[in-house]
Amino acid sequence: MSTDHAGHPRRPDPAGTTSPARPGWPEIVVGLLAMAAATAVIPFFGPLGLESDAVVYGLLLAAWSGLVGLVGFAAAALIRIRSWGAFSVRRTTWRWMGIGAAAGVVAIVLKGVVNYAVIALTGFDADPQSPYYDAAGGGVLPLILTFAFLAVLTPIGEEFLYRGVITNALLRYGPVVGVLSSSLIFALLHGINIVLPSALVVGVIAAEAMRRSGSIWPAVAVHAVNNMALPLLVLITGTTGPG
Protein backbone atom coordinates (compact mmCIF):
# COMPACT_ATOMS: atom_id res chain seq x y z
CA MET A 1 0.00 0.00 0.00
CA SER A 2 1.31 3.46 -0.89
CA THR A 3 1.72 6.19 1.71
CA ASP A 4 0.95 9.90 1.75
CA HIS A 5 3.42 12.75 2.28
CA ALA A 6 3.33 12.26 6.08
CA GLY A 7 4.06 8.53 5.82
CA HIS A 8 0.52 7.38 6.62
CA PRO A 9 -1.01 4.52 4.59
CA ARG A 10 -3.16 5.81 1.76
CA ARG A 11 -6.32 3.92 0.89
CA PRO A 12 -6.63 3.17 -2.82
CA ASP A 13 -9.27 5.11 -4.75
CA PRO A 14 -12.43 3.17 -5.69
CA ALA A 15 -12.50 1.67 -9.14
CA GLY A 16 -13.21 4.22 -11.82
CA THR A 17 -12.16 7.18 -9.65
CA THR A 18 -9.79 9.63 -11.30
CA SER A 19 -9.57 12.08 -8.39
CA PRO A 20 -5.95 13.07 -7.73
CA ALA A 21 -4.33 12.08 -4.44
CA ARG A 22 -3.74 15.65 -3.34
CA PRO A 23 -4.73 19.18 -4.34
CA GLY A 24 -2.84 20.75 -7.24
CA TRP A 25 -2.38 24.07 -8.98
CA PRO A 26 -6.05 24.28 -10.04
CA GLU A 27 -7.08 24.21 -6.38
CA ILE A 28 -4.45 26.79 -5.42
CA VAL A 29 -5.49 29.22 -8.15
CA VAL A 30 -9.25 28.83 -7.66
CA GLY A 31 -8.94 28.97 -3.87
CA LEU A 32 -6.87 32.16 -3.88
CA LEU A 33 -9.10 33.84 -6.48
CA ALA A 34 -12.22 33.01 -4.47
CA MET A 35 -10.57 34.33 -1.31
CA ALA A 36 -9.55 37.52 -3.13
CA ALA A 37 -13.11 38.01 -4.36
CA ALA A 38 -14.44 37.64 -0.80
CA THR A 39 -11.76 39.99 0.53
CA ALA A 40 -12.73 42.62 -2.06
CA VAL A 41 -15.99 43.11 -0.16
CA ILE A 42 -14.14 44.72 2.80
CA PRO A 43 -13.65 48.18 1.21
CA PHE A 44 -17.44 48.45 0.90
CA PHE A 45 -17.76 48.41 4.70
CA GLY A 46 -16.79 52.11 4.69
CA PRO A 47 -19.52 53.41 2.34
CA LEU A 48 -22.05 51.37 4.32
CA GLY A 49 -21.10 53.37 7.41
CA LEU A 50 -19.78 50.36 9.29
CA GLU A 51 -16.47 52.07 10.08
CA SER A 52 -18.25 54.66 12.24
CA ASP A 53 -18.42 52.18 15.13
CA ALA A 54 -14.90 50.90 15.88
CA VAL A 55 -16.15 47.86 17.81
CA VAL A 56 -18.59 46.74 15.10
CA TYR A 57 -16.02 47.33 12.39
CA GLY A 58 -13.37 45.35 14.29
CA LEU A 59 -15.77 42.46 14.80
CA LEU A 60 -16.69 42.43 11.12
CA LEU A 61 -13.04 42.32 10.10
CA ALA A 62 -12.32 39.55 12.62
CA ALA A 63 -15.22 37.45 11.32
CA TRP A 64 -14.39 38.17 7.69
CA SER A 65 -10.79 36.99 8.14
CA GLY A 66 -12.11 33.51 8.82
CA LEU A 67 -14.93 33.54 6.29
CA VAL A 68 -12.71 34.44 3.33
CA GLY A 69 -10.55 31.40 4.06
CA LEU A 70 -13.58 29.14 4.12
CA VAL A 71 -14.80 30.65 0.84
CA GLY A 72 -11.43 29.92 -0.75
CA PHE A 73 -11.36 26.39 0.61
CA ALA A 74 -14.92 25.64 -0.51
CA ALA A 75 -14.18 26.87 -4.04
CA ALA A 76 -11.00 24.78 -4.21
CA ALA A 77 -12.71 21.67 -2.88
CA LEU A 78 -15.66 21.93 -5.26
CA ILE A 79 -13.77 22.09 -8.55
CA ARG A 80 -12.90 18.39 -8.42
CA ILE A 81 -14.62 15.61 -6.49
CA ARG A 82 -12.31 14.14 -3.84
CA SER A 83 -12.18 12.98 -0.26
CA TRP A 84 -11.69 15.65 2.39
CA GLY A 85 -8.72 13.54 3.45
CA ALA A 86 -6.88 14.91 0.41
CA PHE A 87 -6.88 18.26 2.25
CA SER A 88 -5.74 16.59 5.50
CA VAL A 89 -9.19 17.12 7.01
CA ARG A 90 -9.07 13.92 9.00
CA ARG A 91 -9.19 12.85 12.63
CA THR A 92 -6.09 13.12 14.77
CA THR A 93 -5.06 12.21 18.32
CA TRP A 94 -5.24 14.26 21.50
CA ARG A 95 -1.46 13.92 21.66
CA TRP A 96 -1.09 15.74 18.36
CA MET A 97 -3.59 18.39 19.43
CA GLY A 98 -1.50 18.94 22.55
CA ILE A 99 1.62 19.20 20.41
CA GLY A 100 -0.16 21.72 18.19
CA ALA A 101 -1.19 23.82 21.20
CA ALA A 102 2.36 23.75 22.59
CA ALA A 103 3.71 24.68 19.17
CA GLY A 104 1.31 27.64 19.19
CA VAL A 105 2.96 28.89 22.39
CA VAL A 106 6.36 28.47 20.74
CA ALA A 107 5.07 30.46 17.76
CA ILE A 108 4.02 33.33 20.06
CA VAL A 109 7.50 33.47 21.61
CA LEU A 110 9.34 33.21 18.29
CA LYS A 111 7.24 35.82 16.53
CA GLY A 112 7.74 38.14 19.49
CA VAL A 113 11.50 37.84 19.10
CA VAL A 114 11.27 38.31 15.32
CA ASN A 115 8.98 41.33 15.64
CA TYR A 116 11.25 42.94 18.22
CA ALA A 117 14.21 42.50 15.86
CA VAL A 118 12.30 43.90 12.88
CA ILE A 119 11.08 46.93 14.82
CA ALA A 120 14.55 47.56 16.28
CA LEU A 121 16.16 47.40 12.85
CA THR A 122 13.56 49.26 10.82
CA GLY A 123 11.48 51.27 13.28
CA PHE A 124 8.41 50.07 11.35
CA ASP A 125 5.74 49.17 13.89
CA ALA A 126 2.40 50.19 12.34
CA ASP A 127 -0.08 47.42 13.21
CA PRO A 128 -2.95 46.83 10.75
CA GLN A 129 -4.66 44.63 13.35
CA SER A 130 -5.60 47.57 15.57
CA PRO A 131 -9.35 47.15 14.71
CA TYR A 132 -9.21 43.77 16.46
CA TYR A 133 -8.03 45.48 19.65
CA ASP A 134 -10.89 47.95 19.33
CA ALA A 135 -13.34 45.06 19.03
CA ALA A 136 -11.93 43.11 21.97
CA GLY A 137 -11.93 46.23 24.12
CA GLY A 138 -15.58 47.02 23.48
CA GLY A 139 -17.04 45.12 26.42
CA VAL A 140 -17.80 41.56 27.50
CA LEU A 141 -19.83 40.44 24.47
CA PRO A 142 -17.45 41.96 21.88
CA LEU A 143 -14.54 40.33 23.74
CA ILE A 144 -16.25 36.92 23.60
CA LEU A 145 -17.04 37.38 19.90
CA THR A 146 -13.46 38.44 19.20
CA PHE A 147 -12.23 35.24 20.87
CA ALA A 148 -14.68 33.20 18.76
CA PHE A 149 -13.77 34.90 15.49
CA LEU A 150 -9.99 35.09 15.95
CA ALA A 151 -9.33 31.89 17.90
CA VAL A 152 -11.89 29.57 16.26
CA LEU A 153 -13.29 30.81 12.94
CA THR A 154 -10.11 32.38 11.54
CA PRO A 155 -7.81 29.43 12.37
CA ILE A 156 -10.23 26.98 10.74
CA GLY A 157 -10.83 29.13 7.66
CA GLU A 158 -7.19 30.06 7.06
CA GLU A 159 -5.76 26.61 7.86
CA PHE A 160 -8.23 24.84 5.58
CA LEU A 161 -7.16 27.07 2.70
CA TYR A 162 -3.47 27.75 3.30
CA ARG A 163 -2.42 24.42 4.78
CA GLY A 164 -5.20 22.10 3.61
CA VAL A 165 -5.08 23.29 0.00
CA ILE A 166 -1.83 25.19 -0.63
CA THR A 167 0.65 23.35 1.59
CA ASN A 168 -0.72 19.95 0.56
CA ALA A 169 -0.49 20.93 -3.11
CA LEU A 170 3.09 22.20 -2.83
CA LEU A 171 4.31 19.25 -0.77
CA ARG A 172 4.55 17.38 -4.08
CA TYR A 173 7.84 19.29 -4.50
CA GLY A 174 9.20 18.09 -1.17
CA PRO A 175 8.73 19.07 2.48
CA VAL A 176 11.08 22.07 2.43
CA VAL A 177 9.53 23.65 -0.65
CA GLY A 178 6.01 22.75 0.44
CA VAL A 179 6.28 24.15 3.96
CA LEU A 180 8.35 27.25 3.21
CA SER A 181 6.68 28.34 -0.03
CA SER A 182 3.14 27.92 1.30
CA SER A 183 4.12 29.81 4.46
CA LEU A 184 5.57 32.63 2.37
CA ILE A 185 2.31 32.88 0.41
CA PHE A 186 0.42 32.96 3.71
CA ALA A 187 2.67 35.73 5.04
CA LEU A 188 2.62 37.86 1.89
CA LEU A 189 -1.16 37.76 1.72
CA HIS A 190 -1.27 39.30 5.18
CA GLY A 191 0.29 42.40 3.59
CA ILE A 192 3.68 44.09 3.67
CA ASN A 193 3.53 45.20 7.29
CA ILE A 194 4.63 44.16 10.77
CA VAL A 195 2.24 41.17 10.65
CA LEU A 196 4.20 39.58 7.77
CA PRO A 197 7.09 38.10 9.83
CA SER A 198 4.63 36.88 12.46
CA ALA A 199 2.52 35.18 9.79
CA LEU A 200 5.62 33.54 8.33
CA VAL A 201 6.60 32.08 11.70
CA VAL A 202 3.09 30.81 12.41
CA GLY A 203 2.76 29.48 8.85
CA VAL A 204 5.95 27.41 9.02
CA ILE A 205 5.05 25.90 12.40
CA ALA A 206 1.44 25.17 11.40
CA ALA A 207 2.46 23.66 8.06
CA GLU A 208 5.02 21.40 9.72
CA ALA A 209 2.49 20.32 12.35
CA MET A 210 0.08 19.32 9.58
CA ARG A 211 2.77 17.59 7.55
CA ARG A 212 4.03 15.52 10.45
CA SER A 213 0.63 14.65 11.91
CA GLY A 214 -1.13 14.09 8.59
CA SER A 215 -4.10 16.11 9.89
CA ILE A 216 -5.18 19.74 9.59
CA TRP A 217 -6.32 19.94 13.22
CA PRO A 218 -2.90 20.29 14.93
CA ALA A 219 -2.25 23.19 12.54
CA VAL A 220 -5.57 24.72 13.57
CA ALA A 221 -4.45 24.34 17.21
CA VAL A 222 -1.19 26.19 16.45
CA HIS A 223 -3.11 29.02 14.82
CA ALA A 224 -5.81 29.16 17.51
CA VAL A 225 -3.35 29.42 20.40
CA ASN A 226 -1.42 32.10 18.52
CA ASN A 227 -4.57 34.13 17.82
CA MET A 228 -5.75 33.88 21.43
CA ALA A 229 -2.89 36.16 22.42
CA LEU A 230 -4.60 39.31 21.11
CA PRO A 231 -7.93 39.14 22.99
CA LEU A 232 -6.11 37.76 26.05
CA LEU A 233 -3.82 40.79 26.01
CA VAL A 234 -6.87 43.05 25.98
CA LEU A 235 -8.53 41.04 28.75
CA ILE A 236 -5.45 41.07 31.00
CA THR A 237 -4.18 44.59 30.41
CA GLY A 238 -7.37 46.41 29.45
CA THR A 239 -5.58 47.94 26.46
CA THR A 240 -7.65 48.87 23.43
CA GLY A 241 -4.82 48.98 20.94
CA PRO A 242 -1.29 47.72 20.28
CA GLY A 243 1.43 49.22 22.40
Question: Tell me: the pLDDT tens digits for 15-42?
Answer: 344 456 789 999 999 999 999 999 998 8
Report if residue 185 sits inside a domain.
yes
Task: Calculate mean pLDDT across residues 226-239.
Answer: 86
Count of domains for the chain: 1
82 within a domain of the structure (yes/no): yes
Residue 227: what are its φ and ψ, rounded to 5°? -75, -20
The answer to the question of residue 175 being in a domain is yes
What percent of the chain has a predicted confidence (pLDDT) above 70? 86
Query: What pLDDT score was predicted for residue 118?
Result: 87
Domain containing residue 37:
25-237
Does residue 199 lie within any of the structural domains?
A: yes
Q: Does 13 have pLDDT greater than 70?
A: no
Mean pLDDT of 206-235: 95
**Residues 6 or more apart whose Cβ sits within 8 Å of residue 83:** 19
Instruction: Establish if 15 belongs to a structural domain.
Output: no
Q: Is residue 6 part of a domain?
A: no
- Residue 12 resides in a domain: no
Give the model's pLDDT for residue 16. Answer: 40
| pLDDT tens digits, one per residue of 172-195 | 999 999 999 999 999 999 988 889
Least confident of 4-13, 60-69, 82-91, 122-131: 4-13
Does the pTM of the predicted model rise above 0.95? no
Q: How far is CA 206 from CA 30, 130, 144, 148, in A?
A: 22, 24, 24, 19
Over residues 135-149, the mean pLDDT reads: 94
200 within some domain: yes
